[in-house]
């Protein structure tokens, strides 16, 4: 079931990320999609901050994957540049490393995404407004949405 949320400010998006983080679990996978500047990296920064990560979280466009240590490890991926070719990158290994995986531009690698995951699509609805389409895949993610939405 898809959930539609309207975020009227950056602070609302940050609070949403923090609420999701409060329900985190090992091997959690969050897939972010949306145009440039729609809030994917800001969401990830807020999630990381709530995890207790003090480092400056930036989009790993050229690194593909950045790893951070927090309450759980955070594996932040930006797969835009891969153009769907994940051969030799080892992305699938991260899905079972007992951390949280957040993937920006996840729709470009949908063939290798785990069946159970949380999809969040960001749509720009105004200068500071965003519409988030949140789709849980699997019981654990449905329960997560029930807890925070």
| CATH number of residue 127's parent domain | 3.40.50.300
Question: How does pLDDT run across 16-39, given as a tens digit for each residue?
Answer: 999 999 999 999 999 999 999 999
Share of the chain above pLDDT 70, in %: 100
Share of the chain above pLDDT 90, in %: 85
pLDDT, position 83: 80
pTM (two decimals): 0.96
Mean pLDDT in residue range 59-65: 81
Lowest mean pLDDT among 66-75, 83-92, 105-114: 83-92
In angstroms, rounded to a whole number, what is the distance separating the alpha carbons of residues 133 and 144?
15
Positive/negative CA dihedral, 19, 21, 26, 29? positive
pLDDT, position 120: 98
In terms of residue numbers, what domain contains 45?
3-148
The pair of structure tokens assigned to 141 is 């993610």
Tell whether the model's pLDDT for residue 49 goes beyond 90.
Answer: yes
Domain count, the chain: 1
Tell whether the model's pLDDT for residue 47 goes beyond 90.
Answer: yes
pLDDT, position 27: 98
pLDDT, position 22: 96
Mean pLDDT in residue range 114-127: 96
Mean pLDDT of the chain: 94
SS3 letters for the chain?
CCEEEEECCHHHHHHHHHHHHCCCCCCEEEEEEECCCCCHHHHHHHHHHHCCCCCCCCCCCCCCEEEECCCCCEEEEECHHHCCCCCCCCHHHHCCCCCEEEEECHHHHHHHCCCCEEEEEEEECCCCCEEEEEEEECHHHHHHHHHHC
């Amino acid at each position: 079931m898809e959930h539609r949320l309207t975020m009227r400010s950056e602070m609302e998006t940050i609070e949403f990320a923090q609420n999701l983080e409060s329900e985190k679990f090992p091997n959690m996978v969050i897939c972010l999609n949306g145009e440039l500047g729609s809030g994917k990296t800001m969401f990830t920064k807020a999630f990381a901050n709530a995890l207790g990560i003090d480092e400056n979280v930036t989009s790993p466009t050229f690194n593909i994957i950045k790893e951070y240590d927090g309450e759980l490890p955070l594996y932040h991926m930006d797969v835009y540049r891969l153009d769907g070719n994940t051969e030799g990158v080892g992305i699938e290994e991260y899905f079972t490393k007992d951390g949280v995986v957040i993937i920006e531009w996840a729709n470009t690698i949908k063939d290798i995404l785990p069946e159970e995951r949380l999809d969040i699509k960001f749509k720009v609805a105004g200068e500071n407004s965003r519409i988030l389409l949140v789709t849980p895949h699997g019981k654990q993610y449905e329960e997560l949405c029930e807890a925070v939405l």
